Amino acid sequence: MTARRRAFTLVEVIIGFSILAGIALVYLIFVSSSSKELQFSADHLNAVVLSQKVSEDLIEELAINPYGFETLGIAGSTDEHEVVEGRSVFFSFVEDTRAPFGKIDINSDGAITQQMQPLYDSVEKFKFKVDGRRLASSGDHEDRNLVEGKIDFFWNAQTGRGEFNTSMQMFSPVTLKKVDLGLIIDQDAIDARIPGQIFGTSQSIAEISASTGENVETLLAFGRIALITRDFVASEYYVKRKNDIRQLRSQLGNTPAIDLERQFELRRRIAETWYDMAKICFQIVAYLEPQYEILQAQGKLTTATGASFNSVSYQDMCYYRIIYEYFAGSLVQARYYYNSMLHPELMKYKGGKVQTQLLQKLVDIYRIIAILPTRSEGMQEYRSFLSRIRELSEGRYPYFYRFAAFERGLLDQPDEWMRRYPNLARLHHIIAERVPVILDFIRSSTVGMITR
Amino acid sequence: MVKSRRRAFTLVEIAVAAGLVALVGVVAMRIFSTVGTTQQNLSQQALLQMESRRAFDHLVDQIRMGTDIVRPTTGETLPYMVFKDVINQMTILYLEPNNDAANALGQRVFRLVSYRNDYSGLYQKDNEKILLDSVKQLHFTSLSPTSVQVNATVVNEKGDYQFLAHIGLMNLGGLE
C-alpha cells in the first residue's frame, strides 16, 4: 500500500495560525509603540516651537518694558496657562482673522480656535508655566537689567507625561546703566585754579581757610561753583550749539518735503544736538548741586549777605540758574524735534523699528520733563503721550500697549514710579528736590541785589 | 473480523476547518494590511515633521538675518513677508503654486520661496531658495516691528501638519 500524504489536522492548522497571529501581534505592538514614539516626537517638536514663541514674546515684552514679567502677570507665578482659545496672554494675538482688518481684537480674533485646524488639535493638549525674576530685584545693581526666565511646557502623552523645559537669561535694554555725573569734570584741575582765580592769592586753600575763618569745604564749593559756571559761559558751548542748530534749521527749511531721508536726518541732528545740550547742562547742574548742599549746610544759603558772597559770586549764582534753564529748555526743544520725526510720512519711510526707538526715546524725555519743577504741565503732557501710544498700539502691538497701560498705572503712584526707575529717582532728587532750593535762594538773593 | 479503517473527514469537519482557516486568514490579512498602512502613514508623518522642522529652521535662519520688517506692518496678517537686512537688501518670502504637487495631492499646494533682491535689480537664480515644497496655507503676522509670527500648514499625501512660530529679527542698536 502506498503511503498517502496526510492532510493537516484541525489542531495543526489552529496552532499554525496562532503562531502566525502571535508574530503579527508582536509586530503590531512594535508598530503601535513606534506610532506612540512618533506622536511623542511630534508633540515634542510642537513644544519646542511653542516655547520658542513664548520666549520671543518675553524678549519683545522686555525690550519695551523692564517690568514686562509683571505686566504679563507672570512674575513669581505658578499658574498653568493653556494654549488654545486665547486663554493665555501669550496666545491671544496669533492672527488677524476677522474684519475690521489691521487690528487684532482679543475677543473676536487672534486666538487659536477650532477653526484653525489641525493646529488646534495638535496644541490643545499643551499646558505651560512661565516664571521670571530679576537677578537684582531692586536698587541700581548692574544685574538689574538681567531677567531670568523659565518656561515649562507639559502635556499628557500615551507614554506618560511629556515635558519640555527652557530657562534663559534675558536682557532688558530699557533699564539704563547708572551714569557717573562727575565724568566730564576734571575736579583736581578746577581745585588747583581756585586760590589764584577766585581769591586772587597764591596761598593754598588751607591757608586761605586759616586767614578767613571759612572752612576748606566751603571755600572749595564756592570756588567750584564759580569756576565751572564761568568756564561754561566762557566756552560759549551753548552759543555754538545754537548756531549749529540755526544752520540745520535753515537747511531743513530748504529741504523739499518729499526728500524724506534728508528731512528725517536733519530733524534727527537737530533733536540730538538739543538733547546733547540738555545732557551737558544737566551734568553741570547735577555736579554743582552737592557744592550748593555744602554751602547750605554751612548756613550760606539762608541770607543773601552770607560771608564770602559778593556781587561777583551772585553773578556765578545767576549763571547756575541760566544753565538750569538751558537744560530744561533744551530738553523741551529736543522733545519737539523728536516728536516731529514721528510724522506719518517719515515713519512710513523709516519703518516701525525706528518708530519704536523714537517712542522709547520720547518716553525717556517725557519722564524727565514730567518731574521738572519749572514745567507744571509736564506730567499732563506725559499722560497724553502715553494715551497716544495706547491708541496707536491697541490691537497691533500688544507689548507697547501693555507698557503704556503699566506706565499710566505707575504715574498714579509716584513713589512706586521712582522706585521702579532708579535713574529717574536720582534725577528727581536733583531736579525736583535740590534744584528748587538752590533756585529759590538764587531768586531771593538776586531780588535782594536789585532792591538793595 | 472488522478491519479498522481510517475514517475520512466528515463534510461538517471540513466546513468547520475551512471556515476557521478562512476566518483566521482574513483576520491575519487585515492585521498585516493595517500594520502596513499604519507604518506607511507613520513614515509619511515622520517625513512631514522632518520637513516642517527643516522649514522652521530655514525660516528662522532667513528671518533672523533681517533688521527691519517692511511688510506686514504691525498688527497686519499677510500671506507674504518683506524684510530688509543690515546692508539694505530686500528679501521677500512668498508662496507660488506648486502644480505638480497640487495635481498629485488633489488640492491647491504652494511652495514657499525666499528671494533676496540684490543691487543689480536683475533676477539672480542664486538668490532664490525654496524653503518648503508643499504648503497648504501660510500667514505672517507682525506684532512688533522686530518680530513676526508664522502660521504654516505643511501637507503631503497622508495629512497635514501645522506649526506656529514666532521669530525675532536680528536687532541692531538704538537711535543714538
Q: In chain A, what are the domain boundaries?
A: 11-171, 187-451
User: Residue A128 and residue A15: Cα distance in Å, rounded?
Assistant: 52
The answer to whether A7 contacts chain B (CB < 8 Å) is: yes
Instruction: Give me A405's grid cell.
Output: 497701560
Answer whether A364's CB lies under 8 Å from A358's CB.
no
- Is A411's pLDDT higher than 60? yes
Establish if A358 touches chain B: CB-CB under 8 angstroms.
yes
Higher pLDDT, A230 or A7: A230
pLDDT digits (tens, 9 = 90+) for A197-243: 888 888 888 888 888 778 888 888 888 888 888 888 888 888 899 89
Residue range A269-320, pLDDT digits in tens: 999 999 999 999 998 998 888 888 888 787 776 544 444 455 556 777 788 8
Distance (Å, whole) CA A251 – CA A263: 9
Contact list in B for residue A50 (CB cut-off 8 A) is: 164
The verdict on B2 touching A (C-beta cutoff 8 Å) is no
Kindly state the helix (H) or strand (E) to which residue B129 belongs, with its residue range. strand B128-144
- Which DSSP helix (H) or strand (E) runs through B154? strand B147-156
Asked if the model's pLDDT at residue B107 lies above 60, the reply is yes
8 Å CB contact between A164 and A152: yes
B window 5-64, beta carbon within 8 A of A: 9, 13, 16-17, 20-21, 24-25, 27-28, 31-32, 34-35, 38-39, 42, 45-46, 49, 52-53, 56
ipTM for the whole predicted complex goes beyond 0.90:
no
Residue B38, in any domain of the structure? no
Report the C-alpha gap between B5 and A351 in whole angstroms.
102
- Cα(A29)–Cα(B127) distance, rounded to whole angstroms? 48
Find the DSSP H helices in A341-434. Answer: 344-350, 352-371, 378-393, 398-411, 414-420, 422-428
Task: State pLDDT tens for residues B115-146.
Answer: 998 877 788 888 999 988 889 999 999 999 88
Q: What is d(CA A250, CA A339) in angstroms, rounded to the nearest whole number?
A: 19
What's the pLDDT band for A267 if we cut at 50, 70, 90?
A: very high
> Does the residue B3 lie in any domain?
no
Q: Residue A184: its pLDDT value, please?
A: 66
> How many distinct structural domains can be found in chain B?
1
Q: How far apart are CA A367 and CA A425, in angstroms?
A: 11
**pLDDT digits over A347-402, tens only?**
988 888 889 989 999 999 999 999 998 888 999 999 999 999 999 899 899 999 99
Q: Write out the residue range of the structural domain in which residue B129 sits.
A: 43-168
CB A20 within 8 A of CB B27: no
Over 90: is that where the pLDDT of A142 sits?
Answer: no
- How close are the terminal C-alpha atoms of chain B, in Å? 122
Whether the pTM exceeds 0.95: the reply is no
Per-residue model confidence (pLDDT) at position A451: 43
